[in-house]
Amino acid sequence: MDESSIIYIAQEALKIIIYVSAPILIISMVVGLIISIFQATTQIQEQTLTFVPKILSVVAAIALFGSWMLRVLIEYTQGILINMNQFIK
């Protein structure tokens, strides 16, 4: 296994991590921004107000995108395991 294949595997792993986590992070960020704007306009400074909507949005995002995320991770893992002989040489 040479250095270029190790770098390729690491790059692909990082791409997959970003690709899979992006929907949940974006949804959480948008919900947080909306709640922050709501708090700024109404001057409600309750710290716990942000947690419940964010948690619910993350759970909804996992329910919505979970099967897709799992499929992408399984395909990547299968690709690594199928090509294991090429990586070992």
Average pLDDT, stretch 44-49? 80
Per DSSP, the residues of 16-74 read HHHHHHHHHHHHHHHHHHHHHHHHHHHT---GGGTHHHHHHHHHHHHHHHHHHHHHHHH
What is residue 4's predicted lDDT score, i.e. its pLDDT? 85
What is residue 5's predicted lDDT score, i.e. its pLDDT? 83
pTM of the model: 0.80
47 has a pLDDT exceeding 80: no
Domain coverage including residue 19: 3-88
Give the count of domains, the chain: 1
